[in-house]
């Protein structure tokens, strides 16, 4: 994504691979998400170039479940980590081989577990003793042996992340202490093959990632010894963040590599043949996405300016920000405004009938007029799929992927029938 000032005017065109976003908005309508395929590929390439080559990158589809996003990342070397039936089939249809898929999640249904066994994915990441029993029973029914990775709720947590998981009562994984107290786990139709730990999301410090990894590798070895299985896979989690807000800085991949690679190299030397896995969602997709809305109205209220747009938190809940005290804004632009235009504070709000539908509070923007496009940058992760898209019945927005210099619609916007078609009218007075 880039901005350039054209010679003939004071406007700065905002483009993706040379295509003006205004043209994409005109063709596909607003609100919409625009993704830069080159950026997605570059993120994968950067990770694979910087980090230990034996480390396999699994894309966590929950960050952005669009099948074309998944396929593009896969084309650039990503495997898949899925957490629902539809995510599993998304990965398969996107071309990911079953042996490069892991299924994870605290509440897997029988149908989901059966699908894991039937499709022959590499492993189920098991999150409780009860689930282990269920996996074994279902595998027995199907006459197969299930490959299972134990998800561990570790007894350590190294700070430096937005949301830490370790060392707390959690529905995720099995407490490390319980695993060490238990007798060696044996289930007739289960083969334990590995250990997974996920420490949290939005981690923006390199050292805690390396320190967590060091502890996870150690924990995995001790658990495998205790439960007497061969360590065929260690999933060190991920949760690498991107900077959204003021005073945040992006991770430095080279610094991370400097800390992480020696640990992974040493482990790999001691355990040849063990698959080493990192799970990444946000880190791969966030920077590639732009949420584009059109300003419907501008107004003032009690001395503050409001730009009321056609899309809001129904598509981009994350932009509500975190931290209840001061609202922190995602990076935002008036697309097409001159780069040196004077700015003033604007509240950017959406179409919902709730004051919470505020995408930006007192954002410094140039003068805004109805018809202008406002773009929210770094919006490629946890967008519509993590937002209340049905609130006020607006539905899912269109998604456009710019791939090799062309804009492709990769998801149609919902229309009225998409929203009404699944409802049943009980009292029909129309005939």
What does the binding site for ligand PLP look like in residue numbers (CB under 6 A)?
60, 62-63, 104, 198, 201, 238-239, 279-283, 381
Of 211 and 414, nearer to ligand PLP (C-beta) is 211
Cβ 319 to ligand PLP, closest distance in Å? 16
Cβ 381 to ligand PLP, closest distance in Å? 6
What DSSP element (H or E) covers 180? helix 176-181
Of 217 and 277, nearer to ligand PLP (C-beta) is 277
Q: Quick one: which of 335, 363, 324 has its CA closest to 347?
A: 363
Cβ 105 to ligand PLP, closest distance in Å? 8
Of 172 and 306, nearer to ligand PLP (C-beta) is 172
The tokens for 65 are 């479940």
| Residues 68-73: contacts with CB under 8 Å, at least 24 apart | 68/94, 68/401, 68/403, 68/408, 68/410, 69/35, 69/40, 69/285, 69/380, 69/401, 69/410, 70/94, 70/96, 71/95, 72/37, 72/40, 72/41, 72/401, 72/403, 73/40, 73/44, 73/284, 73/285
The tokens for 77 are 């070397």
Cβ 7 to ligand PLP, closest distance in Å? 41
Cβ 208 to ligand PLP, closest distance in Å? 14
Of 240 and 401, nearer to ligand PLP (C-beta) is 240
Cβ 57 to ligand PLP, closest distance in Å? 11
Are the C-beta atoms of residues 244 and 201 closer than 8 Å to each other? no
The tokens for 285 are 């997709």
Cβ 90 to ligand PLP, closest distance in Å? 15
Of 101 and 363, nearer to ligand PLP (C-beta) is 101
Q: Which residues contact 392 (CB under 8 A, 6 or more apart)?
A: 314, 351, 352, 353
From start to end of 66-180, where are the E strands? 79-82, 101-103, 123-126, 146-153, 163-164, 174-175
Cβ 151 to ligand PLP, closest distance in Å? 8
Are the C-beta atoms of residues 16 and 290 closer than 8 Å to each other? yes
Of 106 and 120, nearer to ligand PLP (C-beta) is 106
Of 47 and 257, nearer to ligand PLP (C-beta) is 47
Of 103 and 283, nearer to ligand PLP (C-beta) is 283
**Following CA atoms 364, 365, 366, 369 in sequence, which dihedral angle do they give, to the nearest 10 degrees?**
-140
C-beta atoms surrounding 149 within 10 Å: 25
């Amino acid at each position: 994504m880039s901005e350039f000032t054209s010679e003939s005017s004071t406007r700065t065109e905002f483009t993706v691979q040379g295509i003006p976003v205004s043209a994409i908005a005109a063709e596909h309508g607003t609100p919409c998400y625009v993704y830069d395929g080159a950026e997605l590929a570059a993120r994968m390439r950067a990770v694979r170039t910087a980090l230990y080559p034996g480390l396999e990158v699994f894309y966590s589809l929950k960050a952005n479940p669009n099948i074309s996003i998944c396929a593009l990342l896969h084309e650039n070397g990503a495997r898949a980590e899925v957490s629902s039936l539809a995510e599993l089939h998304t990965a398969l249809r996107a071309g990911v081989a079953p042996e490069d898929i892991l299924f994870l999640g605290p509440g897997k249904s029988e149908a989901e577990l059966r699908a894991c066994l039937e499709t022959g994915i590499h492993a189920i990441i098991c999150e409780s003793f009860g689930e282990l029993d269920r996996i074994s029973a279902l595998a027995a029914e199907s006459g197969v042996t299930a490959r299972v990775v134990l998800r561990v709720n570790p007894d350590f947590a190294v700070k430096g992340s937005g949301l830490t998981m370790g060392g707390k009562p959690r529905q995720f994984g099995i407490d490390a202490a319980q695993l060490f107290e238990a007798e060696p786990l044996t289930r007739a139709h289960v083969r334990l093959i590995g250990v997974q730990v996920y420490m949290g999301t939005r981690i923006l410090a390199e050292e805690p990632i390396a320190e967590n990894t060091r502890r996870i590798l150690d924990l995995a070895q001790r658990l495998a010894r205790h439960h007497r299985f061969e360590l065929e896979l260690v999933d060190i989690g991920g949760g690498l963040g991107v900077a959204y807000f003021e005073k945040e800085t992006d991770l430095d991949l080279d610094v991370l590599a400097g800390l992480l690679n020696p640990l992974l190299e040493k482990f790999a030397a001691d355990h040849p043949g063990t698959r080493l896995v990192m799970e990444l969602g946000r880190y791969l997709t966030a920077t590639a996405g732009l949420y584009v809305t059109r300003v419907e109205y501008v107004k003032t209220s009690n001395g503050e300016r409001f730009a009321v747009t056609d899309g809001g938190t129904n598509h981009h809940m994350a932009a509500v920000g975190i931290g209840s005290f001061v609202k922190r804004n995602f990076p935002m632009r008036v697309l097409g405004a001159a780069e040196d235009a004077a700015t003033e504070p604007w509240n950017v709000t959406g179409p919902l009938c709730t004051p919470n539908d505020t995408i930006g509070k007192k954002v410094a923007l140039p003068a805004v007029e109805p018809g202008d496009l406002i773009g929210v940058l770094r919006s490629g992760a946890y967008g519509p799929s993590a937002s209340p898209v049905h609130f006020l019945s607006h539905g899912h927005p269109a998604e456009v992927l710019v791939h090799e210099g062309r804009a492709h619609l990769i998801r149609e916007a919902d229309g009225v029938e998409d929203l009404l078609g699944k409802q049943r009218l009980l009292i029909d007075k129309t005939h």
